[in-house]
Amino acid sequence: MGPGLIFWHPKGAMIQFQLRRFIEDTILERGYSLVYTPNITREELFLRSGHLPLYAANQFPPMAAGEGEAESVRYRVKPMNCPMHILIYAAQQRSYRDLPVRLAEIANLYRNERSGTLHGMLRVRGLTMDDAHIFLREDQIEQEIFQLLDLVELVLGKTFGLSYRLDLATRPDKKLGTDATWDQAERALEQALKHRGATYRVDQGGGAFYGPKIDIKFNDAIGREWQGATIQLDFEQPERFGLEYTGEDNRPHRPVMIHRAIFGTLERFVGFLIEHFAGAFPLWLAPEQVRVLPISDDQLPAAREVQSKLRAAGLRAHLDERNETLNYKIRDAETHKVPYMAVVGQREAEAGTVAVRVRGSGKKQEVVPLEEFVKRLQAENRTRALSPLT
């Protein structure tokens, strides 16, 4: 019902849900706060942030005011969270001790991308971004960039096993702010990369309109390049909104702002994952983790018991109750790339065991006590392992 608007069906939604849980749990351990902000606000907010008129072509046209408001008032659907998070920062007195303030929101954003540039899940108009804004002192920039690069390494490197590279993207032609501010921001990012000993390339003119950025690029299993994560340094918006914190000297100072996303948009990232794993997701991401297959109707009660024990252990187990041959059901589970099959025959039903088939291991089957099977899968699920634990 509109170009570039994605409907997430149950399986895709489960993958998105797991990614959200993962990133939210991870950043809460690292001093972030979660916030939620409205999908529409008065247009004046985007005028103040400088998105309008500079970014107008990418925003959807304004909506009329709500009932009871002046007729001149206009609303806009949000293309970014930055101005909203700025308002949350500015709603309180902040002291140098409170910084960095890290506000995160996995938000639905709408961008009026030209229809010719739309492409499946990779370039959309309705996007879901794992966004965050960090408000900090200038002397904290380097430390924060280090923490962000660690987060990128944890998520992309360690969890997904990707090798990636860093691009330092500098000032574009269409930009806010003075050259002096840009010099300062570009230098700060460059220094952080150098002190970290990171290798990077310079992407001349590839920065955001409010500041330079570090873009993280990686390749999928068949060598195509993707861009997701981004770390952007912004001296401009704190200035426009007159943001302050009280320094050690009891005087007002201006904080700096970092915009960052790790997955980027979940549409694009899940699109990448589908291609990268060719649909065979690691256990923790697989929409269906185990398929329980009774050999005949006689084992249905035992198979139901197996399913409910797996579910109670936090695993996504489905039961194939169809009146089909076992071979047919196995082939079907293979087609759907379900990581594990648990076959229940008469012997297994009596012994409290399951005959386990691991995705990609052909006809190999191993009979294990149900409890052991549950423990093994829980460990694999919890550690977000890329392949089965042995």
254-313 residues in contact with Zn ion (CB under 5 A) are: 259
Q: How far is the CB of 105 from Zn ion (least distance, A)?
A: 10
Stretch that binds Zn ion, among 23-31, 80-88, 105-113, 246-254 (CB under 5 A): 80-88
Q: How far is the CB of 137 from Zn ion (least distance, A)?
A: 19
Nearer of residues 84 and 121 to Zn ion, judged by Cβ? 84
Q: How far is the CB of 258 from Zn ion (least distance, A)?
A: 9
Nearer of residues 82 and 377 to Zn ion, judged by Cβ? 82
Nearer of residues 82 and 317 to Zn ion, judged by Cβ? 82
Q: What angle do CA 159, 160, 165 make, to 5 degrees?
A: 110
Stretch that binds Zn ion, among 81-89, 110-118, 277-285, 355-363 (CB under 5 A): 81-89
Nearer of residues 108 and 346 to Zn ion, judged by Cβ? 108
Number of residues that bind Zn ion (CB under 5 A): 2
Q: How far is the CB of 372 from Zn ion (least distance, A)?
A: 48
221-260 residues in contact with Zn ion (CB under 5 A) are: 259
Stretch that binds Zn ion, among 7-15, 75-83, 303-311, 376-384 (CB under 5 A): 75-83
Q: How far is the CB of 132 from Zn ion (least distance, A)?
A: 8
Q: How far is the CB of 261 from Zn ion (least distance, A)?
A: 8
Stretch that binds Zn ion, among 1-9, 82-90, 192-200, 324-332 (CB under 5 A): 82-90
Nearer of residues 259 and 329 to Zn ion, judged by Cβ? 259
Nearer of residues 110 and 284 to Zn ion, judged by Cβ? 110
Could you say whether residue 82 binds Zn ion (CB under 5 A)?
Answer: yes
Nearer of residues 82 and 176 to Zn ion, judged by Cβ? 82
Using CB under 5 A, list all residues that contact Zn ion: 82, 259
